[in-house]
Structure 1
């Protein structure tokens, strides 16, 4: 890969000023879209939105004073100052209607840029760990009394909790690389957690990702700060190229590498708790998290590095990140019945699935790990199905495979691609519909087991019925 900074081949259209006086959000129930809508409303905008289905997020937006409807219709954009879309909602009738009425149609990243233009924008990017790292940074700054604005691509606890309009100078936001929309941002600081090949519908290979990240980082503000993973060759490759294109950027690295500016050691895990010692030039401390995930610990150290770069002492930084309590669907315990614990996970990439299986094994101890997997996206299954199956065979005692979740089916691509790889690697696989999976897991599970619900689709919705089925199976009726 050369040092060339490319344009933005997947996004186009309106590039003028964004008027947020009366924004209309198409797909307003999405995690990031609902957060942007919430911040707009808190700033005094008259916010409207539409979504295909009702949800707790829509209820939270209504409570915040937004006008939201269930169902897409062209007339919903009447009077809007701009119409906000994502890649998923580009074909909605509101988009065509807005263009016909000469209403600016803007990507959600353009709204984020507008909201943060007078703030110190921290953009959290990376293939894995964006939501968790954004949530940890928001929690840490809140703990330190800085009242940041933030938009996380997930809920923190209650629906609608993933965004906040604060009085502080800092605006923390998750930066989405999947459609290259993070190229719209001009961050004052950025965290790059990890870089791996993902989103094969938009990226042919790892090199395409590297170019995208170089472009993102090279468009940062003058005298920008960049936090990067010293343990990862891809991240360090990007750093070298960014330094040539953006020589005034300040880089601070984190990791276990002796070359890292902020280093962490072995991770000690006890049940749902984990901790690691952290060392920087000016001090030492211990990060303690309410999570058994190694990824979450690494994300917390990345935030420590950013806080240290801002001048906080290591002891204050580790105490601040240790205040983090979690992000929904990021290895989130939903409940336990009869010694069986159900955990909800957003993982869809094989690296993420492997990390969550590792965390589940730490919790299960002598118990088994049962993975209920809803593969996400036909292009991803076609490209990574074998890798997903292999990590499931290694990390799960039993894999229950659902149908692929996603639009645009590809001939010959199904969950069987993953299942065949599980079998080839010596694993145990079962196939089930969403409905049958509940009864199947209730029959399979025994005390001490951990059940993981894995996928970006609606597999998390099985948690409550699964707990009910487990109670009934154990004779503990609700």
Structure 2
């Protein structure tokens, strides 16, 4: 019997690499390539996934499917390898491949929303694992205990991140969908918030008849999307569950979960959750009010699937988060350096607010690599607010990403930084000069958070190297 050969172009990406590993485990012949070295190199090789550095037409010999990242169509649309794949009609995005092949005949749980997808997806996977459901899991991150963004399970359950960019999530047909929040993002793809919300309406309409939709009642975007879908939800016999921390939304939910934060410390958050099937105290091993909110969605799905309260509580308590989400990378002489994937201004502000709660007696520095010019243009006031949150903020050059060939009018970041209301922000374009600037100021007890989804990890490493060198002597 012929095994389908899938070649993953751009295999080093945080979303596509886990798919290659899952495909290999599912019995596909898998190969891949990327134009540069990747953080996933060791993990891919550990999963027997071979790949090449550089793209070449010769990679397509005996290949049945060329699975690509959607970004390739913006960054390198005329590459011969891609053009040959298109000529042979074997190209699909890795999201299409996941929906068509890896999720086929599975009980699919999709995690969607502007913020918090990866963290919530891994928590959902761990909770199903604690409940003995042995799921396969896919998320666009690295979960350190798995050394990957995926878990290879033997059961019929598949927990996956559902990304709105490029309407990627319309490739999935979930049995259960959890939506954390809906807030405008990806202005390089969606022209207006109405377009953005319409994509989420279409995603909801992909839920299988009689399925389960779980939503954050406090998200205004979710409220606006639901308002137009009351009849469809009823006609399709979709079970609708809502959760909230502060204020419920007046809508005909089948069930609601109310959470109330009791306390937080360095080991996580303690909260009370109440509904008709639970009235209990839960400990979550990660910080952030937003993470408590998102975890309520996972908790309600787990109870629906018959997982016991004790198993859920164990999974929540032991969860310490995923890579690049407020991840402590170094503690050098009491100076803590954190790495965070946050690049939307709402996410940046929420993370800094969280650190200010936790470390209110410490000085907090934020280093921010803005992500794409269109996002800066869409949210100028929100970015200014984010820049003003820390005790001092250093802004560096914007990461271009998918917009590199779009010839967009650049943003004068220096002029933008000059507008920060409390004048606590500076603009330094050169990474080396940036880390020298901050390293000279840092004293034991200070907190540094490096934000970005592009090259910001290089800043984190340069700062750690400089601090280690400084304190070695």
Task: Give 3-state SS (helix, strand or coil) of 2:11's partner.
Answer: coil
Deviation, 1:161, is: 1.4
Alignment-derived partner of residue 28 in structure 1: 11
> Is 2:95 aligned against 1:112?
no
Alignment-derived partner of residue 461 in structure 2: 464
Task: Give 3-state SS (helix, strand or coil) of 1:390's partner.
Answer: helix
C-alpha distance in 1 between matches for 2:141 and 2:356: 25
Task: Give 3-state SS (helix, strand or coil) of 2:270's partner.
Answer: strand
Q: Deviations over 1:440-463 (max 9, x none)?
A: 221121222110010111212332
Which residues of 2 match residues 438-457 of structure 1 at below 5 A? 438-457=435-454
Deviation, 1:80, is: 0.7
Alignment-derived partner of residue 260 in structure 2: 265
Which residues of 2 match residues 298-313 of structure 1 at below 5 A? 298-313=293-308
- Counterpart contact for 1:386–1:418, Cα < 8 Å: no
Alignment-derived partner of residue 281 in structure 1: 276
Q: Which residue of the other structure, out of 235, 239, 250, is the alignment partner of 1:250?
A: 239
Deviation, 1:99, is: 2.0
Task: Give 3-state SS (helix, strand or coil) of 2:443's partner.
Answer: coil
Alignment-derived partner of residue 398 in structure 2: 404
Alignment-derived partner of residue 55 in structure 1: 38
Deviation, 1:414, is: 4.2
Distance change >3 Å, CA 458–CA 26, structure 1 → 2: same
Deviation, 1:429, is: 2.3
Task: Give 3-state SS (helix, strand or coil) of 1:371's partner.
Answer: strand
C-alpha distance in 2 between matches for 1:463 and 1:267: 33
Alignment-derived partner of residue 192 in structure 2: 205
> Is 2:205 aligned against 1:218?
yes
> Is 2:151 aligned against 1:151?
no
C-alpha distance in 2 between matches for 1:211 and 1:318: 35
- Counterpart contact for 1:375–1:455, Cα < 8 Å: yes
Distance change >3 Å, CA 409–CA 476, structure 1 → 2: farther
- Counterpart contact for 1:243–1:249, Cα < 8 Å: no
Q: TM-score, normalised by structure 2?
A: 0.91
> Is 2:347 aligned against 1:352?
yes
Distance change >3 Å, CA 431–CA 465, structure 1 → 2: closer
- Counterpart contact for 1:25–1:85, Cα < 8 Å: yes
Q: Deviations over 1:271-307 (max 9, x none)?
A: 3422211112122223323322222222212111111
C-alpha distance in 2 between matches for 1:271 and 1:64: 34
Q: Which residue of the other structure, out of 458, 469, 476, is the alignment partner of 2:472?
A: 476
Distance change >3 Å, CA 369–CA 104, structure 1 → 2: same
- Counterpart contact for 2:418–2:425, Cα < 8 Å: no
- CA RMSD in angstroms, aligned pairs only: 2.0
- Counterpart contact for 1:60–1:159, Cα < 8 Å: no
Deviation, 1:409, is: 4.9
C-alpha distance in 2 between matches for 1:190 and 1:294: 21
- Counterpart contact for 2:118–2:141, Cα < 8 Å: yes
Deviation, 1:159, is: 8.1
Q: Deviations over 1:81-106 (max 9, x none)?
A: 11011221122432101122x24211
C-alpha distance in 2 between matches for 1:358 and 1:108: 35
Distance change >3 Å, CA 313–CA 293, structure 1 → 2: same
Task: Give 3-state SS (helix, strand or coil) of 2:114's partner.
Answer: coil
Aligned length: 455
Distance change >3 Å, CA 342–CA 420, structure 1 → 2: same
Q: TM-score, normalised by structure 1?
A: 0.90
Which residues of 2 match residues 369-448 of structure 1 at below 5 A? 369-393=364-388, 395-406=389-400, 407=404, 408-416=406-414, 418-422=416-420, 424-448=421-445
Q: Where do 5+ consecutive residues of structure 1 fail to align?
A: 1-18
Task: Give 3-state SS (helix, strand or coil) of 1:152's partner.
Answer: strand
Deviation, 1:310, is: 2.4
Q: Which residue of the other structure, out of 63, 70, 95, is the alignment partner of 1:80?
A: 63
- Counterpart contact for 1:385–1:421, Cα < 8 Å: no
Once superposed, which parts of structure 1, at least 4 consecutive aligned residues long, lie more than 4 Å away?
Answer: none
Deviation, 1:190, is: 0.5
Distance change >3 Å, CA 75–CA 158, structure 1 → 2: farther
Range 110-119 or range 158-167, more displaced? 158-167
- Counterpart contact for 1:375–1:402, Cα < 8 Å: yes
C-alpha distance in 2 between matches for 1:111 and 1:421: 46
Q: Deviations over 1:367-416 (max 9, x none)?
A: 111011100011111211331121220x2111111111112452232433
C-alpha distance in 2 between matches for 1:305 and 1:136: 12
